[in-house]
Structure 1
Protein backbone atom coordinates (compact mmCIF):
# COMPACT_ATOMS: atom_id res chain seq x y z
CA UNK A 1 0.00 0.00 0.00
CA UNK A 2 1.17 3.55 -0.81
CA UNK A 3 0.90 5.17 2.60
CA UNK A 4 1.16 8.79 1.46
CA UNK A 5 -1.65 10.44 3.39
CA UNK A 6 -3.91 12.97 1.72
CA UNK A 7 -4.26 16.47 3.12
CA UNK A 8 -7.82 17.39 4.05
CA UNK A 9 -10.00 20.45 4.20
CA UNK A 10 -13.07 20.08 6.41
CA UNK A 11 -15.88 22.58 6.78
CA UNK A 12 -16.51 22.31 10.50
CA UNK A 13 -19.81 24.21 10.79
CA UNK A 14 -21.54 25.09 14.02
CA UNK A 15 -20.15 23.75 17.31
CA UNK A 16 -23.51 21.98 17.66
CA UNK A 17 -22.31 19.31 15.23
CA UNK A 18 -20.48 17.90 18.26
CA UNK A 19 -23.91 17.08 19.73
CA UNK A 20 -26.05 16.85 16.60
CA UNK A 21 -23.83 15.37 13.88
CA UNK A 22 -26.36 15.49 11.04
CA UNK A 23 -25.33 14.65 7.50
CA UNK A 24 -21.80 15.99 7.82
CA UNK A 25 -21.24 14.28 11.16
CA UNK A 26 -22.22 10.98 9.58
CA UNK A 27 -19.64 11.63 6.87
CA UNK A 28 -17.01 12.34 9.55
CA UNK A 29 -17.89 9.06 11.27
CA UNK A 30 -16.97 7.20 8.07
CA UNK A 31 -13.94 9.35 7.29
CA UNK A 32 -11.54 8.04 9.93
CA UNK A 33 -12.18 4.43 8.99
CA UNK A 34 -11.77 5.29 5.31
CA UNK A 35 -8.44 7.04 5.92
CA UNK A 36 -7.15 4.03 7.84
CA UNK A 37 -8.26 1.70 5.04
CA UNK A 38 -6.94 3.82 2.18
CA UNK A 39 -3.51 4.88 3.41
CA UNK A 40 -3.05 3.58 6.94
CA UNK A 41 -3.78 5.10 10.31
CA UNK A 42 -2.03 8.45 10.88
CA UNK A 43 0.65 8.65 13.54
CA UNK A 44 -0.19 12.31 14.19
CA UNK A 45 -2.48 15.11 13.00
CA UNK A 46 -1.33 18.61 12.08
CA UNK A 47 -4.38 20.87 12.32
CA UNK A 48 -4.78 24.34 10.79
CA UNK A 49 -8.01 25.94 11.97
CA UNK A 50 -9.83 29.14 11.05
CA UNK A 51 -10.17 29.77 14.80
CA UNK A 52 -6.46 29.71 15.65
CA UNK A 53 -5.05 32.89 14.13
CA UNK A 54 -1.77 34.69 14.80
CA UNK A 55 0.40 37.46 13.39
CA UNK A 56 3.08 34.89 12.61
CA UNK A 57 2.77 31.08 12.32
CA UNK A 58 2.79 29.40 15.72
CA UNK A 59 2.85 25.76 16.79
CA UNK A 60 1.01 24.74 19.97
CA UNK A 61 3.53 22.17 21.14
CA UNK A 62 2.07 21.19 24.52
CA UNK A 63 2.30 17.49 25.42
CA UNK A 64 -1.47 17.35 26.09
CA UNK A 65 -4.55 19.10 24.71
CA UNK A 66 -8.12 19.55 25.88
CA UNK A 67 -11.13 20.98 24.09
CA UNK A 68 -11.40 24.76 24.05
CA UNK A 69 -14.98 26.09 24.22
CA UNK A 70 -14.38 29.15 22.08
CA UNK A 71 -18.08 29.96 21.64
CA UNK A 72 -21.03 31.13 23.70
CA UNK A 73 -24.77 30.78 24.00
CA UNK A 74 -25.03 27.04 23.38
CA UNK A 75 -26.60 24.29 25.51
CA UNK A 76 -24.76 23.27 28.67
CA UNK A 77 -24.29 19.76 27.31
CA UNK A 78 -21.92 21.11 24.66
CA UNK A 79 -19.57 22.52 27.30
CA UNK A 80 -19.42 19.16 29.06
CA UNK A 81 -18.01 17.36 26.02
CA UNK A 82 -14.31 16.53 26.16
CA UNK A 83 -11.65 15.75 23.62
CA UNK A 84 -8.42 15.05 25.47
CA UNK A 85 -5.67 14.27 22.97
CA UNK A 86 -1.92 14.02 23.26
CA UNK A 87 0.18 16.74 21.72
CA UNK A 88 3.32 16.13 19.68
CA UNK A 89 6.31 18.28 20.70
CA UNK A 90 8.64 16.21 18.50
CA UNK A 91 6.48 16.88 15.45
CA UNK A 92 6.59 20.59 16.26
CA UNK A 93 10.38 20.45 15.91
CA UNK A 94 10.05 18.72 12.54
CA UNK A 95 7.48 21.23 11.30
CA UNK A 96 9.62 24.16 12.36
CA UNK A 97 12.50 22.72 10.35
CA UNK A 98 10.37 22.17 7.24
CA UNK A 99 9.02 25.70 7.38
CA UNK A 100 12.43 27.21 8.05
CA UNK A 101 13.81 25.44 4.97
CA UNK A 102 11.29 27.43 2.92
CA UNK A 103 12.02 30.70 4.66
CA UNK A 104 8.95 30.59 6.91
CA UNK A 105 9.60 31.27 10.58
CA UNK A 106 7.22 29.55 13.01
CA UNK A 107 7.06 30.15 16.73
CA UNK A 108 6.92 27.20 19.10
CA UNK A 109 4.69 27.60 22.14
CA UNK A 110 4.26 25.25 25.08
CA UNK A 111 0.54 26.09 25.19
CA UNK A 112 -2.16 23.54 24.43
CA UNK A 113 -5.83 23.42 23.52
CA UNK A 114 -7.94 22.47 20.51
CA UNK A 115 -10.41 25.06 19.27
CA UNK A 116 -13.83 23.88 18.12
CA UNK A 117 -12.76 23.90 14.48
CA UNK A 118 -10.40 21.06 15.42
CA UNK A 119 -12.06 19.01 18.14
CA UNK A 120 -15.60 19.10 16.77
CA UNK A 121 -14.80 17.08 13.62
CA UNK A 122 -12.12 14.99 15.33
CA UNK A 123 -14.66 13.91 17.92
CA UNK A 124 -16.41 11.99 15.14
CA UNK A 125 -13.44 11.11 12.94
CA UNK A 126 -11.24 9.65 15.69
CA UNK A 127 -13.52 9.51 18.75
CA UNK A 128 -11.00 7.74 20.97
CA UNK A 129 -8.74 10.83 20.82
CA UNK A 130 -5.81 8.44 20.52
CA UNK A 131 -3.86 10.25 17.78
CA UNK A 132 -1.56 13.13 18.82
CA UNK A 133 -2.58 16.54 17.51
CA UNK A 134 -0.37 19.52 16.73
CA UNK A 135 -2.25 22.78 16.02
CA UNK A 136 -0.57 25.24 13.69
CA UNK A 137 -2.00 28.74 14.08
CA UNK A 138 -1.76 30.60 10.79
CA UNK A 139 -1.74 34.22 9.58
CA UNK A 140 -5.15 35.32 8.23
CA UNK A 141 -3.71 38.31 6.36
CA UNK A 142 -1.62 36.11 4.07
CA UNK A 143 -3.00 35.73 0.56
CA UNK A 144 -4.15 32.34 -0.78
CA UNK A 145 -0.85 31.92 -2.64
CA UNK A 146 1.06 32.43 0.61
CA UNK A 147 -1.16 29.91 2.40
CA UNK A 148 -0.54 27.48 -0.46
CA UNK A 149 3.21 27.95 -0.02
CA UNK A 150 2.85 27.28 3.71
CA UNK A 151 1.11 24.01 2.90
CA UNK A 152 3.67 23.11 0.24
CA UNK A 153 6.40 23.36 2.87
CA UNK A 154 4.52 20.77 4.92
CA UNK A 155 4.13 18.29 2.05
CA UNK A 156 6.86 15.83 3.22
CA UNK A 157 4.74 15.04 6.27
CA UNK A 158 2.32 13.06 4.08
CA UNK A 159 4.97 10.35 3.70
CA UNK A 160 5.79 10.44 7.42
CA UNK A 161 2.38 9.36 8.71
CA UNK A 162 1.10 12.86 9.49
CA UNK A 163 -2.44 13.78 8.48
CA UNK A 164 -2.72 17.48 7.64
CA UNK A 165 -6.20 18.89 8.24
CA UNK A 166 -7.32 22.41 7.47
CA UNK A 167 -10.70 23.32 8.95
CA UNK A 168 -12.95 26.26 8.17
CA UNK A 169 -15.98 26.59 5.90
CA UNK A 170 -16.33 26.48 2.14
CA UNK A 171 -18.82 29.36 2.55
CA UNK A 172 -19.00 31.55 5.64
CA UNK A 173 -21.12 34.69 6.04
CA UNK A 174 -22.59 34.94 9.53
CA UNK A 175 -24.96 37.76 8.53
CA UNK A 176 -26.65 35.41 6.10
CA UNK A 177 -26.72 32.62 8.67
CA UNK A 178 -28.41 34.86 11.19
CA UNK A 179 -31.21 35.51 8.74
CA UNK A 180 -31.70 31.82 8.01
CA UNK A 181 -31.50 30.77 11.65
CA UNK A 182 -34.05 33.36 12.72
CA UNK A 183 -36.53 32.89 9.92
CA UNK A 184 -36.09 29.53 8.26
CA UNK A 185 -33.93 27.05 10.16
CA UNK A 186 -31.28 24.50 9.42
CA UNK A 187 -33.13 22.50 6.77
CA UNK A 188 -33.96 25.28 4.34
CA UNK A 189 -32.91 25.21 0.66
CA UNK A 190 -29.53 26.62 -0.18
CA UNK A 191 -29.42 30.19 -1.48
CA UNK A 192 -28.37 30.39 -5.13
CA UNK A 193 -25.22 32.39 -4.48
CA UNK A 194 -23.88 29.77 -2.08
CA UNK A 195 -24.58 26.97 -4.54
CA UNK A 196 -22.84 28.86 -7.35
CA UNK A 197 -19.76 29.52 -5.25
CA UNK A 198 -19.46 25.91 -4.08
CA UNK A 199 -19.96 24.64 -7.63
CA UNK A 200 -17.24 26.98 -8.89
CA UNK A 201 -14.79 25.73 -6.25
CA UNK A 202 -15.56 22.12 -7.18
CA UNK A 203 -15.26 22.70 -10.93
CA UNK A 204 -12.02 24.69 -10.72
CA UNK A 205 -10.60 22.06 -8.35
CA UNK A 206 -11.50 19.21 -10.71
CA UNK A 207 -9.79 21.13 -13.53
CA UNK A 208 -6.75 21.89 -11.35
CA UNK A 209 -7.18 25.52 -12.32
CA UNK A 210 -4.84 26.81 -9.65
CA UNK A 211 -4.55 30.26 -11.18
CA UNK A 212 -8.29 30.82 -10.78
CA UNK A 213 -8.43 29.21 -7.36
CA UNK A 214 -5.58 31.27 -5.98
CA UNK A 215 -7.31 34.38 -7.33
CA UNK A 216 -10.74 33.27 -6.11
CA UNK A 217 -11.53 36.71 -4.73
CA UNK A 218 -11.65 38.10 -8.27
CA UNK A 219 -12.60 34.95 -10.16
CA UNK A 220 -15.26 33.13 -8.14
CA UNK A 221 -18.93 34.14 -8.27
CA UNK A 222 -20.19 35.91 -5.13
CA UNK A 223 -16.77 35.56 -3.45
CA UNK A 224 -17.15 38.60 -1.21
CA UNK A 225 -20.70 37.64 -0.24
CA UNK A 226 -19.74 34.09 0.66
CA UNK A 227 -16.57 35.23 2.46
CA UNK A 228 -16.77 38.84 3.70
CA UNK A 229 -13.51 37.92 5.40
CA UNK A 230 -11.73 34.84 4.17
CA UNK A 231 -10.14 33.28 7.25
CA UNK A 232 -12.56 30.33 7.00
CA UNK A 233 -11.51 29.53 3.44
CA UNK A 234 -7.76 30.05 3.77
CA UNK A 235 -7.13 26.66 5.46
CA UNK A 236 -8.37 25.14 2.16
CA UNK A 237 -5.26 26.59 0.52
CA UNK A 238 -2.92 25.28 3.20
CA UNK A 239 -4.28 21.77 2.68
CA UNK A 240 -4.18 22.20 -1.09
CA UNK A 241 -0.56 23.30 -0.95
CA UNK A 242 0.32 20.25 1.12
CA UNK A 243 -1.25 18.07 -1.56
CA UNK A 244 0.50 19.84 -4.42
CA UNK A 245 -0.53 20.96 -7.88
CA UNK A 246 -0.19 17.64 -9.70
CA UNK A 247 -2.91 15.53 -8.05
CA UNK A 248 -6.53 16.39 -8.73
CA UNK A 249 -8.36 17.60 -5.60
CA UNK A 250 -11.27 15.39 -4.59
CA UNK A 251 -14.48 16.79 -3.16
CA UNK A 252 -15.33 14.08 -0.64
CA UNK A 253 -18.53 15.55 0.76
CA UNK A 254 -20.95 18.37 0.02
CA UNK A 255 -23.72 19.70 2.21
CA UNK A 256 -25.22 22.99 3.40
CA UNK A 257 -26.79 24.04 6.68
CA UNK A 258 -28.82 27.18 7.38
CA UNK A 259 -29.15 27.82 3.65
CA UNK A 260 -25.68 29.32 3.24
CA UNK A 261 -23.12 27.54 5.44
CA UNK A 262 -21.30 25.14 3.14
CA UNK A 263 -20.05 21.93 4.72
CA UNK A 264 -17.93 20.61 1.84
CA UNK A 265 -14.82 18.51 2.44
CA UNK A 266 -11.85 18.08 0.10
CA UNK A 267 -8.81 15.83 -0.10
CA UNK A 268 -5.53 16.74 -1.80
CA UNK A 269 -2.40 14.95 -2.90
CA UNK A 270 -1.58 11.48 -4.26
CA UNK A 271 -3.68 9.78 -1.56
CA UNK A 272 -6.82 11.79 -2.30
CA UNK A 273 -8.23 9.50 -5.00
CA UNK A 274 -7.70 6.39 -2.86
CA UNK A 275 -9.51 8.03 0.02
CA UNK A 276 -12.41 8.99 -2.25
CA UNK A 277 -12.63 5.37 -3.40
CA UNK A 278 -12.58 4.08 0.18
CA UNK A 279 -15.38 6.47 1.15
CA UNK A 280 -17.42 5.40 -1.85
CA UNK A 281 -16.98 1.75 -0.88
CA UNK A 282 -18.02 2.44 2.70
CA UNK A 283 -21.07 4.36 1.49
CA UNK A 284 -22.13 1.42 -0.66
CA UNK A 285 -21.74 -0.89 2.34
CA UNK A 286 -23.92 1.37 4.47
CA UNK A 287 -26.55 1.51 1.70
CA UNK A 288 -26.50 -2.29 1.34
CA UNK A 289 -26.86 -2.80 5.09
CA UNK A 290 -29.87 -0.50 5.23
CA UNK A 291 -31.75 -2.30 2.43
Structure 2
Protein backbone atom coordinates (compact mmCIF):
# COMPACT_ATOMS: atom_id res chain seq x y z
CA UNK A 1 0.00 0.00 0.00
CA UNK A 2 1.44 3.36 -1.05
CA UNK A 3 0.59 6.06 1.48
CA UNK A 4 -0.10 9.65 0.45
CA UNK A 5 2.09 12.63 1.26
CA UNK A 6 0.87 15.91 2.69
CA UNK A 7 1.67 19.59 2.73
CA UNK A 8 0.02 21.06 5.82
CA UNK A 9 -0.53 24.70 6.67
CA UNK A 10 0.34 24.38 10.34
CA UNK A 11 -1.09 27.56 11.86
CA UNK A 12 0.50 29.89 14.38
CA UNK A 13 2.49 28.93 17.45
CA UNK A 14 1.11 26.28 19.84
CA UNK A 15 -2.53 26.86 18.81
CA UNK A 16 -3.88 23.31 19.44
CA UNK A 17 -2.98 23.66 23.11
CA UNK A 18 -4.74 27.04 23.46
CA UNK A 19 -8.44 26.23 23.10
CA UNK A 20 -9.41 28.63 25.87
CA UNK A 21 -7.70 31.56 24.16
CA UNK A 22 -8.58 30.76 20.54
CA UNK A 23 -12.02 29.20 20.80
CA UNK A 24 -13.11 28.14 17.29
CA UNK A 25 -10.58 30.26 15.42
CA UNK A 26 -8.72 27.14 14.24
CA UNK A 27 -11.75 24.87 13.91
CA UNK A 28 -11.47 24.27 10.14
CA UNK A 29 -7.75 23.59 10.26
CA UNK A 30 -8.17 21.31 13.26
CA UNK A 31 -10.96 19.34 11.56
CA UNK A 32 -8.82 18.84 8.46
CA UNK A 33 -5.95 17.47 10.54
CA UNK A 34 -8.21 15.23 12.59
CA UNK A 35 -9.48 13.71 9.34
CA UNK A 36 -6.05 12.46 8.21
CA UNK A 37 -6.26 9.08 10.02
CA UNK A 38 -9.54 8.39 8.22
CA UNK A 39 -7.96 9.32 4.89
CA UNK A 40 -5.03 6.99 5.52
CA UNK A 41 -7.20 4.08 6.62
CA UNK A 42 -4.27 2.55 8.51
CA UNK A 43 -2.04 3.54 11.39
CA UNK A 44 1.33 4.34 9.83
CA UNK A 45 4.56 2.79 11.02
CA UNK A 46 5.98 6.29 11.43
CA UNK A 47 5.79 9.90 10.27
CA UNK A 48 8.60 11.75 8.55
CA UNK A 49 7.96 15.45 9.12
CA UNK A 50 9.76 18.23 7.24
CA UNK A 51 9.22 21.38 9.30
CA UNK A 52 9.62 24.95 8.11
CA UNK A 53 11.22 25.67 11.48
CA UNK A 54 14.45 23.74 11.02
CA UNK A 55 17.24 24.59 8.58
CA UNK A 56 20.74 23.12 8.42
CA UNK A 57 23.73 23.43 6.03
CA UNK A 58 22.87 19.90 4.86
CA UNK A 59 19.70 17.89 5.23
CA UNK A 60 19.68 16.59 8.80
CA UNK A 61 17.62 13.96 10.59
CA UNK A 62 16.53 13.91 14.19
CA UNK A 63 17.92 10.62 15.52
CA UNK A 64 16.91 10.55 19.19
CA UNK A 65 14.63 7.75 20.39
CA UNK A 66 12.96 10.20 22.80
CA UNK A 67 13.16 13.76 21.44
CA UNK A 68 12.60 16.71 23.73
CA UNK A 69 10.65 19.87 23.02
CA UNK A 70 11.67 23.17 21.41
CA UNK A 71 9.45 26.16 22.17
CA UNK A 72 10.31 28.16 19.07
CA UNK A 73 7.78 30.95 19.47
CA UNK A 74 7.41 34.07 21.56
CA UNK A 75 4.74 36.05 23.35
CA UNK A 76 2.50 33.13 24.30
CA UNK A 77 1.18 32.23 27.79
CA UNK A 78 3.66 30.72 30.22
CA UNK A 79 2.05 27.29 30.17
CA UNK A 80 2.76 26.92 26.44
CA UNK A 81 6.46 26.68 27.30
CA UNK A 82 5.76 23.55 29.34
CA UNK A 83 3.53 21.62 26.95
CA UNK A 84 4.67 18.16 25.95
CA UNK A 85 4.11 15.98 22.91
CA UNK A 86 6.01 12.83 23.90
CA UNK A 87 5.94 10.93 20.60
CA UNK A 88 8.78 8.44 20.27
CA UNK A 89 11.54 9.02 17.78
CA UNK A 90 12.89 6.32 15.50
CA UNK A 91 16.67 6.08 15.14
CA UNK A 92 16.08 3.14 12.78
CA UNK A 93 13.96 5.25 10.42
CA UNK A 94 16.48 8.09 10.64
CA UNK A 95 19.25 5.72 9.55
CA UNK A 96 17.10 4.32 6.75
CA UNK A 97 16.33 7.81 5.45
CA UNK A 98 19.98 8.80 5.65
CA UNK A 99 20.86 5.76 3.53
CA UNK A 100 18.15 6.56 0.96
CA UNK A 101 19.48 10.07 0.61
CA UNK A 102 23.10 8.99 0.36
CA UNK A 103 22.15 6.44 -2.30
CA UNK A 104 20.60 9.33 -4.25
CA UNK A 105 23.79 11.38 -3.91
CA UNK A 106 22.31 13.68 -1.26
CA UNK A 107 24.37 14.36 1.85
CA UNK A 108 22.47 13.88 5.10
CA UNK A 109 23.52 14.33 8.70
CA UNK A 110 22.17 13.20 12.07
CA UNK A 111 21.27 15.21 15.17
CA UNK A 112 20.67 13.23 18.36
CA UNK A 113 20.05 16.37 20.46
CA UNK A 114 17.41 18.17 18.42
CA UNK A 115 13.90 18.30 19.90
CA UNK A 116 10.50 18.58 18.26
CA UNK A 117 9.61 22.10 17.09
CA UNK A 118 6.13 23.55 16.80
CA UNK A 119 6.11 22.99 13.04
CA UNK A 120 5.77 19.35 14.01
CA UNK A 121 3.71 19.21 17.19
CA UNK A 122 1.23 21.97 16.34
CA UNK A 123 0.45 20.12 13.11
CA UNK A 124 0.54 16.55 14.42
CA UNK A 125 -1.09 16.83 17.85
CA UNK A 126 -4.58 17.11 16.26
CA UNK A 127 -3.78 14.12 14.03
CA UNK A 128 -2.42 11.78 16.72
CA UNK A 129 -3.24 13.36 20.10
CA UNK A 130 -2.03 10.29 21.99
CA UNK A 131 1.51 10.81 20.60
CA UNK A 132 1.65 7.09 19.86
CA UNK A 133 3.12 7.13 16.33
CA UNK A 134 6.93 7.37 15.98
CA UNK A 135 8.12 10.61 14.40
CA UNK A 136 11.37 11.65 12.76
CA UNK A 137 11.92 15.26 11.76
CA UNK A 138 13.98 16.15 8.70
CA UNK A 139 15.42 19.61 8.22
CA UNK A 140 15.32 21.93 5.27
CA UNK A 141 18.64 22.78 3.65
CA UNK A 142 20.08 26.27 3.94
CA UNK A 143 19.74 28.08 0.63
CA UNK A 144 16.16 26.88 0.27
CA UNK A 145 16.64 25.73 -3.32
CA UNK A 146 13.31 24.37 -4.64
CA UNK A 147 14.94 21.83 -6.96
CA UNK A 148 17.06 20.40 -4.12
CA UNK A 149 13.97 19.92 -1.98
CA UNK A 150 12.02 18.33 -4.82
CA UNK A 151 14.96 15.96 -5.35
CA UNK A 152 14.92 15.23 -1.62
CA UNK A 153 11.29 14.23 -1.93
CA UNK A 154 12.03 11.94 -4.88
CA UNK A 155 14.66 10.14 -2.83
CA UNK A 156 12.17 9.66 0.01
CA UNK A 157 9.44 8.18 -2.21
CA UNK A 158 10.17 4.49 -1.37
CA UNK A 159 9.15 5.16 2.24
CA UNK A 160 5.54 5.50 1.10
CA UNK A 161 5.37 1.76 0.48
CA UNK A 162 6.92 1.00 3.87
CA UNK A 163 4.23 2.46 6.10
CA UNK A 164 5.76 5.94 6.45
CA UNK A 165 3.71 9.09 5.91
CA UNK A 166 5.74 12.03 4.61
CA UNK A 167 4.40 15.37 5.84
CA UNK A 168 5.65 18.80 4.83
CA UNK A 169 4.64 21.27 7.54
CA UNK A 170 4.66 24.95 6.60
CA UNK A 171 2.08 27.56 5.64
CA UNK A 172 0.76 28.41 2.19
CA UNK A 173 0.93 32.15 3.06
CA UNK A 174 3.66 33.33 5.41
CA UNK A 175 4.22 37.06 5.53
CA UNK A 176 4.15 38.05 9.19
CA UNK A 177 3.85 41.73 8.30
CA UNK A 178 0.66 41.08 6.37
CA UNK A 179 -1.14 38.65 8.65
CA UNK A 180 -4.78 39.71 8.84
CA UNK A 181 -6.72 41.87 6.36
CA UNK A 182 -3.50 43.36 4.90
CA UNK A 183 -2.70 39.99 3.36
CA UNK A 184 -6.14 39.36 1.89
CA UNK A 185 -5.34 40.07 -1.77
CA UNK A 186 -1.85 38.53 -1.90
CA UNK A 187 -2.90 35.36 -0.09
CA UNK A 188 -5.91 34.90 -2.40
CA UNK A 189 -3.81 35.39 -5.54
CA UNK A 190 -1.05 33.04 -4.45
CA UNK A 191 -3.49 30.42 -3.20
CA UNK A 192 -5.34 30.44 -6.53
CA UNK A 193 -2.02 29.84 -8.28
CA UNK A 194 -1.22 26.96 -5.93
CA UNK A 195 -4.55 25.29 -6.68
CA UNK A 196 -4.12 25.75 -10.41
CA UNK A 197 -0.53 24.49 -10.42
CA UNK A 198 -1.01 21.54 -8.08
CA UNK A 199 -4.45 20.27 -9.00
CA UNK A 200 -5.13 21.31 -12.59
CA UNK A 201 -1.70 21.08 -14.22
CA UNK A 202 -0.35 17.78 -15.54
CA UNK A 203 2.37 16.28 -13.38
CA UNK A 204 5.34 17.34 -15.55
CA UNK A 205 4.10 20.91 -15.78
CA UNK A 206 3.22 20.88 -12.09
CA UNK A 207 6.76 20.17 -10.93
CA UNK A 208 8.21 22.86 -13.19
CA UNK A 209 5.64 25.43 -12.07
CA UNK A 210 6.16 24.76 -8.39
CA UNK A 211 9.95 24.83 -8.76
CA UNK A 212 9.52 28.26 -10.38
CA UNK A 213 7.17 29.44 -7.62
CA UNK A 214 8.80 32.87 -7.43
CA UNK A 215 7.18 33.77 -10.77
CA UNK A 216 3.70 33.17 -9.37
CA UNK A 217 1.26 36.04 -8.76
CA UNK A 218 2.01 37.73 -5.43
CA UNK A 219 4.78 35.18 -4.78
CA UNK A 220 7.06 37.36 -2.68
CA UNK A 221 4.18 39.09 -0.95
CA UNK A 222 3.03 35.62 0.12
CA UNK A 223 6.52 34.39 0.98
CA UNK A 224 9.13 37.12 1.56
CA UNK A 225 11.29 34.21 2.68
CA UNK A 226 10.30 30.80 1.38
CA UNK A 227 11.00 28.46 4.30
CA UNK A 228 7.27 27.90 4.90
CA UNK A 229 6.75 26.89 1.26
CA UNK A 230 9.73 24.53 0.90
CA UNK A 231 8.07 21.62 2.77
CA UNK A 232 5.59 21.56 -0.13
CA UNK A 233 8.46 20.81 -2.51
CA UNK A 234 9.39 17.70 -0.50
CA UNK A 235 5.81 16.39 -0.35
CA UNK A 236 5.44 16.97 -4.10
CA UNK A 237 8.74 15.32 -4.98
CA UNK A 238 7.84 12.20 -3.03
CA UNK A 239 4.57 11.82 -4.96
CA UNK A 240 5.50 13.45 -8.24
CA UNK A 241 3.23 11.36 -10.48
CA UNK A 242 0.23 11.31 -8.15
CA UNK A 243 -2.84 13.50 -8.28
CA UNK A 244 -3.14 16.31 -5.77
CA UNK A 245 -6.22 17.30 -3.80
CA UNK A 246 -6.96 20.15 -1.42
CA UNK A 247 -7.68 18.87 2.08
CA UNK A 248 -8.03 22.23 3.84
CA UNK A 249 -8.99 25.66 2.56
CA UNK A 250 -10.31 28.79 4.16
CA UNK A 251 -10.43 32.49 3.36
CA UNK A 252 -10.65 33.97 6.86
CA UNK A 253 -7.53 32.53 8.46
CA UNK A 254 -6.03 34.91 11.03
CA UNK A 255 -8.45 37.66 10.11
CA UNK A 256 -8.48 37.54 6.34
CA UNK A 257 -5.91 35.19 4.80
CA UNK A 258 -6.58 32.49 2.21
CA UNK A 259 -4.65 29.34 3.10
CA UNK A 260 -4.70 25.69 2.02
CA UNK A 261 -3.26 22.24 2.66
CA UNK A 262 -2.78 19.53 0.02
CA UNK A 263 -2.55 15.76 -0.23
CA UNK A 264 -0.65 13.92 -2.99
CA UNK A 265 -1.88 10.42 -3.77
- TM normalised by structure 1 equals 0.82
Could you say which residue in structure 1 is the equivalent of 2:209?
Answer: 212
1:203 maps onto 2:205 in alignment: no
Q: Partners in 1 of 2:256 and 2:217 — Cα distance?
A: 14
Do the aligned partners of 1:50 and 1:167 also contact (CA within 8 Å) in 2?
Answer: yes
Could you say which residue in structure 1 is the equivalent of 2:38?
Answer: 33
Correspondence 1:1-291 to 2 at 5 A? 3-18=1-16, 19-20=18-19, 21-35=26-40, 37=41, 40-177=42-179, 180=180, 191-206=184-199, 207-208=201-202, 209-218=206-215, 220-244=216-240, 246-256=241-251, 257-259=253-255, 261-268=257-264, 272=265
CA drift of 1:193 comes to 1.9
Do the aligned partners of 2:50 and 2:137 also contact (CA within 8 Å) in 1?
Answer: yes
Deviation string 1:178-208 (CA, Å, 9 cap, x unpaired) is xx3xxxxxxx696122111101111111113
Do the aligned partners of 2:188 and 2:257 also contact (CA within 8 Å) in 1?
Answer: no
Deviation string 1:235-258 (CA, Å, 9 cap, x unpaired) is 1001100112x2121111112422
CA drift of 1:78 comes to 2.2
CA drift of 1:111 comes to 1.7
Could you say which residue in structure 1 is the equivalent of 2:23?
Answer: none
Residue 158 of structure 2 aligns to a residue whose secondary structure is helix
Number of residues of Structure 1 aligned to a counterpart in Structure 2: 253
Residue 243 of structure 1 aligns to a residue whose secondary structure is coil
**Unmatched segments (≥5 aa) in structure 1:** 181-187, 273-291
Do the aligned partners of 2:184 and 2:258 also contact (CA within 8 Å) in 1?
Answer: no
Q: Partners in 2 of 1:249 and 1:67 — Cα distance?
A: 32
* Structure 1 segments (4+ residues) deviating >4 Å: 259-262
Residue 225 of structure 2 aligns to a residue whose secondary structure is coil
CA drift of 1:61 comes to 0.3
Q: Partners in 2 of 1:114 and 1:102 — Cα distance?
A: 26
Greater strand share, structure number: 2
Residue 234 of structure 2 aligns to a residue whose secondary structure is helix
Deviation string 1:69-95 (CA, Å, 9 cap, x unpaired) is 111111223223210011000011110
Q: Partners in 2 of 1:123 and 1:86 — Cα distance?
A: 13
Do the aligned partners of 1:140 and 1:234 also contact (CA within 8 Å) in 2?
Answer: no
Kindly tell me: are residues 89 and 262 of structure 1, through their superposed partners in 2, closer, same or farther at Cα, counting changes over 3 Å?
farther
Do the aligned partners of 2:59 and 2:107 also contact (CA within 8 Å) in 1?
Answer: yes
Could you say which residue in structure 2 is the equivalent of 1:282?
Answer: none
Residue 9 of structure 1 aligns to a residue whose secondary structure is strand
**Unmatched segments (≥5 aa) in structure 2:** 20-25
